[in-house]
Chain A
Amino acid sequence: MSKEDVLTLDYWCSPFCMRVKIGLTEKGVAYESREEEDLFGEKSELLLKSNPIYQKVPVLLHNGKPLSESMIILSYIDEQWPSPPLLPSCAYARAQARFWADYIDKKLFEAVCGIWRSQGEAVEVAKKGFIEVLKVLEGALGEKDFFCGDTFGYVDIVAIPITIWFLASERYGNFQVETECPKFAAWIKRCLQRESVSKVLTDPEKIYGFVGVARKMQGIE
């Protein structure tokens, strides 16, 4: 397949965009990544045409056909390029994977951002909520290396990009994930050993810088 058949519309700090790129990389699919330079200002014509309903990234264009919503794109990637599989083969295990992916998608990013978006007493409340979510995920992980067992897959891909936002919240919330949730921290380290993950994830220090600017703009001390 020639490189230009698979195009992703991206934004550098979006964990949702990173899910798509990790998925493609795991499958060995060559793709072109196009950055939305002014995502919060003037969106590109291609973005507006490819995702008219939400006007958001990520978008995947495969042979010109557009797809949006990161988890739906990830499922598409898994079904379009079946090897290596990102989901288990048995229906019940797949359902469990989808359940946890849905839980992570609904809870994790909101929970971590809630910390750096808060000030005063609200920070402690947000921190408590975030750690609760991590504890639930530690329960889901159990003694396994990855969410679905021995191999890195769908649920791990859904969760790992969000972890680049942890550093900012740790600093502003004055805590460490490694201390509070060592099992989850160990899972992060395992994922970072994968080439697809280390290649695609943005440096958490850059996210920390971005968060600092966002807090100033919102008047958060």
Chain B
Amino acid sequence: MGEVQVLGSWGSPYSRRVEMALKLKGVEYEFIEQDLANKSPLLLKYNPIHQKVPVLVHNGQAIAESVVILEYIDETWKGYPLLPQDPYGRARARFWAKFIDDKCYTAIWQTVWIKERKEREKAIEEASHHLKTLENELRDNKFFGGETIGLVDIVSNFFSFWPDIVQEAAGVEIVTEERFPFLCKWKIEFTSCSAIKENLPDRDKLLAYLKAQFTRSAWKY
């Protein structure tokens, strides 16, 4: 079905989402690593508006914004559907994907960088509140998509590797089995799937990167 390229970055969960979806659908692609500190002419050509990763290029046509790309992938390659067929189910999946991006990611990301202790505790509380809301949606299901991985699971990929690494690098604990039993169970199911496992960022590399960032920002707990 034509030539597929992904402009991405090894550490970006957004760019990993696209690779996970393509792998689940058995679509072959060429990955082109981007240096975001030194943007390539290719990136500027294919995503002039946001100049960010990921970008999917299919037969020379470029699509940007990870969730837009996921929907395009789902419509173009029919194997392993990521969204349900019925309009209400699709709307619910899109709602949760948006909730994760708007609320969960920002809240969790911020907890790591806030230097002042009381402020950080407040940020952790907010992040936990959003994660609880998400966990109540997941409940005892294997995946957000039901029996198979769906759009919401892919958009949640951040939770499958980030919290552990942050805990090791910074001692900030958000996702524990005690507080989030269903999310922790989900993480095991999600990362045991080969299409996902192959697309998790290198743990040691990410840990080293985070530790360097912390040192640079004179972060203190």
* Residues in A whose Cβ lies below 8 Å from that of B58: 92
Contact B91 A72 (CB under 8 A): yes
**20 additional A-B residue pairs with CB within 8 Å, beyond A53-B133, A69-B98:** A62-B88, A67-B88, A67-B91, A72-B91, A72-B95, A75-B90, A75-B94, A76-B87, A79-B90, A80-B87, A91-B72, A91-B75, A91-B76, A92-B61, A92-B63, A95-B68, A96-B63, A99-B63, A99-B68, A103-B49
Q: Which residues of A in the span 159-183 have a Cβ within 8 Å of any Cβ on B?
A: none
Tally of A-B residue pairs with Cβ under 8 A?
54
Known contacts A91-B75, A94-B72, A95-B72: does B95 contact A68 (CB below 8 Å)?
A: yes
**Contact status B72-A69, CB under 8 Å:** no
**CA A84 to CA B207, docked complex, whole Å:** 51
Residues of B within 8 A of A214 (CB): none
9 pairs of A and B residues whose beta carbons are closest in the complex: A79-B87, A95-B72, A76-B91, A91-B75, A80-B87, A95-B63, A98-B68, A72-B94, A91-B76
* Chain B binding surface, main DSSP class: helix
What are 12 A-B contacts with C-beta separation under 8 Å? A69-B98, A75-B90, A75-B91, A76-B87, A76-B90, A79-B90, A92-B58, A92-B72, A99-B63, A99-B68, A102-B68, A103-B49
Q: Are A69 and B68 in contact (CB under 8 A)?
A: no
Distance in Å from the Cβ of B137 to the closest Cβ of chain A? 10
**For residue B164, which residues in chain A have a CB less than 8 angstroms away from its CB?**
none
Q: Does A20 touch B at the CB level, under 8 Å?
A: no
CA separation between A79 and B91, bound complex, in Å?
A: 10
Task: For A53, give its contact among B68, B71, B88, B99 (CB under 8 Å).
Answer: B99
Cα distance, A136 to B48, chains bound together (Å)? 11
B91 touches A102 (CB 8 A): no
